Amino acid sequence: MNGKPVAVVTGGAGFIGSHMVDALLAAGFAVRVIDNLEGGHRSNLDHLKGNPDLACYWQDVRALDADSPIFAGARYVFHFAGIGDIVPSIEQPTQYMETNVQGTVRVLECARQAAVEKLVYAASSSCYGLASVPTGEEHPINPQYPYALSKYLGEEAAFHWHQVYELPVNSICIFNAYGPRVRTTGVYGAVFGVFFRQKLARMPYTVVGDGTQRRDFVYVTDVAQAFLAAARTPINGERFNVGAGDPRSINRLVELLGGDVVHVPKRPGEPDCTYADITKIVARLGWKPVVSFEEGVRRMLVDIERWRDAPLWDPDRIAEATKTWFRYLGRQSA
């Protein structure tokens, strides 16, 4: 690929992964994407059609051989491939462990055999559970559901490969990422996809609880820059929290979108506030978020028609979709 440094992005057709591809191409890399298209979409990379520095491999990371030629000569590996969402992980825990843990092990082995300079793992703040805030990297781990556990175990595998095999690894613990291409299909979950579709349909927003719960929303292009910083640093074997460090309430999001609301029951296992302590990444990697919440929402609204085909949720559909959630997680909080 024209003698440029090579980076591999697993899950590169997904939400954050596709923005990682954009950031790498802009930084002068040739990029190889691996995605099985179960969660990702080719359309997320349509704007890059014909780019000679991009190669896509539509396959599952769980089927990778350790000597996969996709990784040959790669400088960096960014591992986003995996499956998300709370309810499906409760219903299908084996699939989550196979994909998010064993899939990660496959990628780690490929990176090790290719002798890459750095692998950066996409971790989830859900591993902290019902955490005290602001939440630092040393906060106790307390996963509330199988998705959170699977992401944490994948991270532990990455650090183990660093410890045993000296594979250069860092982990980015993502809080509440949002922005263009955020997931719009599948099970009930991501608030932006839910609210934008409701806005298009002129339906009230389904606000969980009283809407005062706060989330540390961080814009996706800022997240991609954090991953790039974690790859370029000589620091290894570290977790870095990535958020805006400025939690905003769901009610504030409703204010920015405008419209009526209807309230649905608060869900067990969900924190009242997520709030990343980003002191470490600011001090050690020189990264900081640059896109404000208001600006990020404004940018997304410009492209709101993208959510026209997203699932349309109402209180009854949400109640049906989250029955498993209440059944299992409700016992923990009882």
- Do 17 and 10 touch, CB atoms closer than 8 A? yes
Q: Tell me: pLDDT of 333 over 60.
A: no
Tell me the pTM: 0.96
Give the model confidence (pLDDT) of 274-289 as tens digits. 999 999 999 999 999 9
| Domain 181-216+245-275+292-324 architecture | Alpha-Beta Complex (3.90)
Instruction: Cite the beta strand spans of the chain per DSSP E.
Output: 6-10, 30-34, 54-57, 74-79, 118-124, 169-174, 176-178, 205-208, 214-215, 217-219, 238-242, 248-249, 261-264
SS3 111: helix
* Catalytic site positions: 147
The full set of domain ranges for the chain reads 6-177+219-242, 181-216+245-275+292-324
Q: Cβ-count burial of 25 within 10 angstroms (0-12 exposed, 13-18 middle, 19+ buried)? A: middle
| Domain 6-177+219-242 architecture | 3-Layer(aba) Sandwich (3.40)
Give the model confidence (pLDDT) of 48-85 as tens digits. 999 999 999 999 999 999 999 999 999 999 999 999 98
